[in-house]
Amino acid sequence: MRIAVLEDDPTQADTVKQWLQEAGHEVSIYGLSRDLMRDNGRESFDLYLLDWMVPDLSGKDVLTWLRETRDMDVPVIFLTSQDSEADVSSILSAGADDYMIKPARRQELLSRITAVCRRVYAPRNGVEVIDAPPYRFEIGFTRALFQHAPIDLTDKEFELAVFLFNNIGRLISRGHLLESVWGRSAEVATRTIDTHISRVRSKLALRPENGYQLKAIYNFGYRLERIAG
């Protein structure tokens, strides 16, 4: 997963980053809220791990911005020294998915991340079949169907389509697509991603009359949207 961490203490930030990377996650560290918010304009993440007290805007302000301004339902966990009942209630009421008191413990943090992501992403991920009529993706057979008829996709086109249908409604950056479909170390030009997107859109006939549209978001990435019938 791609995880954004807001933490202004360099020692704690390095520790959390090491824990997350050892668990196989891609991690971006931010010491200032405005830096995270700026990057959120060009990148997407699977989870946010926020401190409350940072030098500029508070973590709670970032949470409010994500939920209200950006209209994002990506999971958010707070890792902070603010430990009063009122603080916890305030953060959870503002839309946080979980709350941990510092100092963090490695296994607890990883377990809470797993639990939160299971609640948020499990209905879409880790399944052998994605049914999204008129589309169906049979993961084990690498087979895509449209109105019960097979669609000829390359392996990468299939992976890309499955990723998009696992994230319907989410705004996904090109960098996020690159890491998720081609891998972190892949040297793939943006043009290649856009070409694959174009082919998937065409081959799957992702048009409103078929219930879905794949929108390009200028200078950011893409979003697969379900069209209400």
Question: CA-CA distance, 37 to 22, in Å (whole number)?
Answer: 26
Question: CA-CA distance, 222 to 219, in Å (whole number)?
Answer: 10
Instruction: Please check whether residue 148 is in contact with residue 206, taking contact to mean a CB–CB distance below 8 angstroms.
Output: no
- pLDDT of 57 > 80? The answer is yes
pLDDT in tens, 171-191: 898 888 988 888 766 577 778
- pLDDT of 125 > 80? The answer is no
Task: Quote the mean pLDDT of the chain.
Answer: 88
Question: CA-CA distance, 31 to 9, in Å (whole number)?
Answer: 7
Sign of CA dihedral 65, 68, 73, 76: positive
pLDDT-derived band at 158, boundaries 50, 70, 90: very high
Structure tokens at 1: 């997963």
Question: CA-CA distance, 47 to 32, in Å (whole number)?
Answer: 17
Of 186, 141, 147, 179, the C-alpha closest to 160 is: 179
What number is the average pLDDT over the span 136-156?
93
What number is the average pLDDT over the span 198-226?
93
Of 137, 139, 4, 24, the C-alpha closest to 79 is: 4
> 77 forms bridges with which residues in the sheet?
49, 98
* Domains of the chain (ranges, CATH numbers): 2-121 (3.40.50.2300), 129-226 (1.10.10.10)
Name the maximum alpha-carbon separation found in the chain: 57
3-state class (DSSP) for residue 217: strand
What is the radius of gyration, based on Cα positions, of the chain? 19
3-state class (DSSP) for residue 15: helix
